[in-house]
Structure 1
């Protein structure tokens, strides 16, 4: 007898990527430079000294990659558009050659019966806008809305879902807070103001896209985590509450409650954002869906050195704790605190030190990771959380931001010298798991 199926037959299974991490073709067919092109080319910014100039060469190999996606039994593909590929300056003229690429990609997906879930912004701002202040300049939010409207006007009847932003927490805190990511600025006040402009741009884009009459579901993708105190001490509990407030609640409260969390505002003090009248009304546009990216929890210890996390399942190659039960805990917490739209798990996966051995990539650790997180997801759904789909990160090994090509998140191995793709054991497991979910229980 088969085990009960926790996922409905209309649950969406997918894989995910982002433009800069896989496309390559960084200066072809009229594409303008992005902040990540500039960041990589500065030298000394990427751990392995690499760039995203070629990456997985998806720009030229997209048909091969769509065939791979189709072979995995998934329903949908989540990908992002490179803003500077379709609008090199981030304002003004559109680049038809860039739009043609995404038109061909959508055709290829449609031919295979695959749904398209598009992200408008996955961290690769046109460098021309950065030259005018980037996300620190409030005007960039309005330029983003123009871009969103044009994409929705052209493709809005061919795309299942459009997310405005992927993980604005990273864009603000890693791009402007500690300089780990492009554009490489380290200034706390700037990071907090950027987070507000990113949220403002989200709301403006939602309004602009809805005005086009698009049939796509519209939403945003946020990276989120629980924050657990290491002990019952007052200091550890206070650390955990603040961590949750300035990460999860900082982006959720403006969208769903029309304000920033007071605890985080007090902690930010003089670094708090400038908010103009009407901003929260713009930010709080109704969502058709909320995308949740989950990888780890925050484990908060005020001790020096901090206490080692307890209850996890080890660590990924990124050094992130494997804590699948945190996904259940997070989703239940969100359900208690907010009036949520349907949720998609838009990213979940692990970096693993994979090797190609005799034509095969044995990655049992990744299989265990995915299986445990799907069990945690099912547990949340059984307790009433409305989750409509799961997108595994990532389809391909790719350019992992400031780690370059040193970290492999893909369920498909990429030999960067030859661009040969090889299904890892985890890809075969995921394919077969999805097939099993579609069978009618005996």
Structure 2
């Protein structure tokens, strides 16, 4: 019997654990799930004979080494900064590794050693990154095989709340890592548009309010991801005029988030004492003027250049940022306080459903005829546990694990899923879970 070791049992692990346990009897494998929260693991593994929950401090090297030595394949859903601990152990004990996170500089230093050991470290094997790479490369290879010349590539993805569950002025609820949501876009963005390199600062990202039409959903707002240019070489589209990867949101979210940035509430560099500090005083810490001379909403509206009756003020009031309640979280950065607020005010209720939307827009020329192609995917969650986010992050990892343990993958080295031997079988099996793309042409 083969053994699979999964590090991390958080929000994105639910569907992956379900997949691994469901396939265990037929494919003869056993799953060990390690996390610092034993009750969380047990809530997801149940009483399955094919799963072993293990309470683990990931920084306990001895315990970590013992688990890795005893397994055949490692999957990591840990926070990105902790992957390097697991990666070095997998290299030491000659174990293949899968994760949904981006390749970072630390693991890049191990690239030659991974290849020399004949191991496969498959990174970016989730949703975004993951399904975006696989679906995009399938389209790109298909167009090029038929003689098409691509001149514009745009890819959009968003983890959103299903329209039926929208009940707040933000049009948003937390379906994944709240810290990542708070810090999203903080490094700005770089992309290519009509032959020119465009660079946007963090302060500019949410201020443009650019939109795109998504079939069945209507107008969606988007903001470019941090570094689209890095993927031009990977996709072998170095010479095209337009290349951009972007994040989708409902339009109201971007408008409200822009206000939080202007207020400085996403800063993660400086700590301040929050005990006996009111949310209003915290939210207006960077604003000058006599705060007691007028109503809280009037004071903030004036500095943001909006009406006190505006949607933005309603959004800030919904988060509780304009009231006198005390924070009392000790010494924290603004981003940490905002993360606490978002988790409290924008949490998913048991009956809520999330939604994943992905859209590729590719323009190409074939036989002197210009064509614009749209390929889109919309996935609905079941509830606030079996979410669309968990499904689209976890299932690609599960399917890839199956392919490796069945010896159907011959790849080695540090990789991301852009090759046919990976994207063809993974995308095909994802359709069994209603994760599929629709296409249209103009």
TM-score bucket of the superposed structures, by smaller chain: under 0.3
Choose between structure 1 and 2 for higher RCO, CA contacts under 8 A separated by at least 6 residues: 2
Higher helix share: 1
TM-score (norm 1): 0.26
Higher strand share: 2
